[in-house]
Amino acid sequence: MEEPAATVGVLALQGDVREHEVAFGEVGVRTRRVLRPADLDGLDGLVLPGGESTTLSMLLESSGLFEPVEKAIVGGMPVFGTCAGLILLAGRVEDGRPDQRSFGVLDCTVRRNGYGPQRFSFEGRAAPATDELGTEPVPAVFIRAPVVVEVGPGAEVLATEDGDGSPVLVRQGHILAATFHPELTADRRLQQMFAAMARPAACHGR
């Protein structure tokens, strides 16, 4: 019997929401925009997209979503954070605003805008550090991207910046996070990886 397709929520408060929807649709994953707490019901996974991390933090508060999203993640719902989404997941954030909140569930330290301002955005490659991604580098678009300064023992590095060696893709149990924007390229390996993490048959603690 064929497994039902996963339904993945995309936090739609700010950022490149449509691009994530298109990317996941190409690998057969249904998406739903998450704008209020009720939108989390019945999801198999959640994407925290890129955008501006301080703005996302404030919008999560004002929309009443911060605590419900935190509860879902802590309860085991698979989550995929990209760029600003990684900052929201990180246990430790450097150069953040004093009032900026993160969920603190990923054992790593990140530096906001670690590569510099918008004009230093660039296209690079992520070199796989695990057989799960194969051997070919993953195309990676870095837009005001954070830098992973340190990865603690609770998390594993899945890919590093090609030629630099710094971590750009990390995983900790049901949490996947990238410093770049995988939805802006034609490579769908990370969407497929997250789709496997968000299989409806999995227990997400709900």
Q: Rounded to an integer, what distance in angstroms lies between the CA atom of residue 39 and that of residue 153?
A: 33
Q: What are phi and psi of 115, to 5 degrees?
A: -90, -5
Determine whether 181 is an active site residue.
yes
Stated as kind and residue range, the H or E segment containing 58 is helix 53-62
Quote the strand ranges of the chain, DSSP E: 7-11, 30-34, 45-48, 79-82, 90-94, 106-111, 122-128, 138-142, 147-151, 156-161, 167-172, 175-178
Please pick, among 83, 108, 161, 174, the residue that the annotation labels catalytic. Answer: 83
Q: Strand 106-111 relative to strand 147-151: parallel, antiparallel, unpaired?
A: antiparallel
Q: How many CB atoms lie within 10 A of CB 41?
A: 11
At which residue do the structure tokens 């796989």 appear?
128
Determine whether 183 is an active site residue.
yes
At which residue do the structure tokens 């955008």 appear?
51
Please pick, among 20, 174, 181, 204, the residue that the annotation labels catalytic. Answer: 181
Q: Rounded to an integer, what distance in angstroms lies between the CA atom of residue 206 and that of residue 203?
A: 8
Q: Which of 73, 76, 97, 92 is nearest to 11 (CA)?
A: 73
DSSP-derived 3-state class of residue 59? helix
Determine whether 3 is an active site residue.
no
Give me the active site residues, please: 83, 181, 183
